[in-house]
Amino acid sequence: MKWLGGIDMSLMKSQPTFWRIINQAQSAGPNVSAQSATPNSPDTLGVLSGHFGGWITDESAPLGAEGERRSYRTRGLWVDPKHRGKGFARLLMLAAFKQAKKENCEIVWTFPRKTSMPFYQEMGFKLVGSWIGENDSLAGEFGPNGFALAKTDRHESFKTP
């Protein structure tokens, strides 16, 4: 995505990663795996995907190559409503941050719904700009969304639940 500038289709050439949390058995508990995500499967507790997200200019640095940061984009975070509040979204997001670091990305970005922003803030994301669709009756069933950024090094100290 190019902020206010259309879609950068070259990003579609980057290799995506998909994660899902499955309930293997009651005794084994949940398991995060990098398998094809299938939200409708009865054993799927949550899913997330991510991929290289382009270059983002760090406004605190001078313009030019030295001010650009490699980024990673997360998409489609979903946790089964029966299993929300159990830390599964956090596990998925931590897997994405680990992958972002593996791909030498300094920043993770996403486009969350306004209603889910408290979770993203807990994960270190900050809203950039204002909500898109805030006063727009055409925003759809999911309501306003916003552009949010976090640094990958913010998550090294996070512990899994």
Q: What is the pLDDT of residues 57-109, one digit of tens each?
A: 766 554 445 667 889 999 999 999 999 999 999 999 999 999 999 999 999 99
Read off φ and ψ for residue 50, nearest 5 degrees. Answer: -160, 160
What average pLDDT score do residues 34-55 get?
A: 74
What average pLDDT score do residues 3-30 get?
A: 67
Domain ranges within the chain, ordered by starting residue: 9-153
Question: Residue 11's pLDDT is what?
Answer: 67
The answer to whether residues 67 and 113 touch, using CB atoms and an 8 Å cutoff, is: no
Instruction: Say which residue, 149 or 39, is predicted with more confidence.
Output: 149
What average pLDDT score do residues 123-146 get?
A: 82
Bridge pairing between strands 44-57 and 17-23:
antiparallel
DSSP code, position 2: B
pTM to 2 decimal places: 0.76
Q: What is the pLDDT of residues 50-64, one digit of tens each?
A: 998 888 776 655 444
Instruction: Say which residue, 54 or 156, is predicted with more confidence.
Output: 54
CATH architecture, domain defined by 9-153: 3-Layer(aba) Sandwich (3.40)
What average pLDDT score do residues 25-36 get?
A: 48
